[in-house]
């Protein structure tokens, strides 16, 4: 069993449900804890294991409940909200909207390329190779067009691999950006 857990990069604690004790980091009943995870965790893990959580981000429950999902059936089984830190190199293309070392709250149930708010482009977390990229996204036939906010950076195209859909490349809509903590 130890070898199976090691191969899955898990611990025995990852198999147990998370039981929250009073005073273990939950601010109050009006807030929810969103796990801050690695980019790989946001990209590939449907459920975030406790050992994969780097820290917790407290967000008012009403804010999370106000976000409307738009997802495919397979994605509905995924843990909906995760947060990631955006490194300086990735933030430059979206400057000044995204600052270096900011935190992005990703709604992994919103993978439609429809504007969340009329006349405003969505920022998406997108799988670009094995990396997570943050850009405005449009679709052109079987490609995603990644547009930066900072016009000094190039527009990029990502073509789908055989058997892959455009939705497989979208990790989710960036619902909230925390630039300064």
pTM, two decimals, is 0.80
5 is a domain residue:
no
pLDDT digits (tens, 9 = 90+) for 18-66: 544 334 444 445 778 999 999 999 988 888 888 889 999 999 988 888 8
15 is a domain residue:
no
Phi, psi at 134, each rounded to 5° = -115, 115
Q: For residues 95 and 90, what is the distance between their CA atoms, to the nearest angstrom? A: 9
151 is a domain residue:
yes
48 is a domain residue:
yes
157 is a domain residue:
yes
Give the Cβ contact number of residue 3 at 10 Å. Answer: 7
17 is a domain residue:
no
CATH number of the domain residue 112 falls in: 2.10.109.10
Q: Which residue has the higher pLDDT, 14 or 26?
A: 14
3-state DSSP of 54-123: CEEEEEEHHHHHHCCCECCCHHHHCCCEEEEEECHHHHHHHCCCCCCCEEEEEECCECCCCCCCCCCCCE
Which residues constitute the domain of residue 141?
28-178
When divided into structural domains, the chain yields a total of 1
pLDDT digits (tens, 9 = 90+) for 63-90: 888 888 776 667 778 899 999 999 988 8
23 is a domain residue:
no
Q: Which helix (H) or strand (E) segment is 168 a member of?
A: helix 166-169
Tokens of 177: 């950006």
20 is a domain residue:
no
């Amino acid at each position: 069993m130890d070898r199976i857990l090691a191969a899955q990069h898990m611990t025995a604690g990852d198999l147990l449900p998370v039981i929250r004790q009073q005073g273990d980091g939950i601010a109050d009943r009006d807030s929810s804890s969103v796990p801050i995870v690695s980019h790989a965790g946001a990209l590939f893990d449907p459920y975030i294991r406790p050992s994969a959580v780097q820290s917790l981000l407290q967000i008012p429950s009403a804010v999370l409940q106000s976000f409307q999902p738009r997802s495919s059936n397979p994605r509905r089984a995924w843990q909906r909200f995760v947060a990631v830190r955006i490194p300086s190199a990735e933030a430059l293309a979206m400057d000044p909207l995204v600052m270096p070392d900011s935190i992005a709250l990703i709604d992994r149930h919103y993978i439609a390329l429809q504007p969340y708010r009329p006349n405003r482009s969505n920022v998406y977390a997108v799988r670009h190779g094995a990396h997570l990229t943050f850009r405005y996204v449009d679709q052109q036939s079987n490609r995603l067009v990644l547009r930066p906010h900072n016009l000094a950076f190039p527009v990029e195209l990502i073509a789908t691999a055989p058997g892959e859909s455009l939705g497989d490349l979208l990790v989710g809509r960036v619902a909230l950006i925390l630039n300064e903590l």
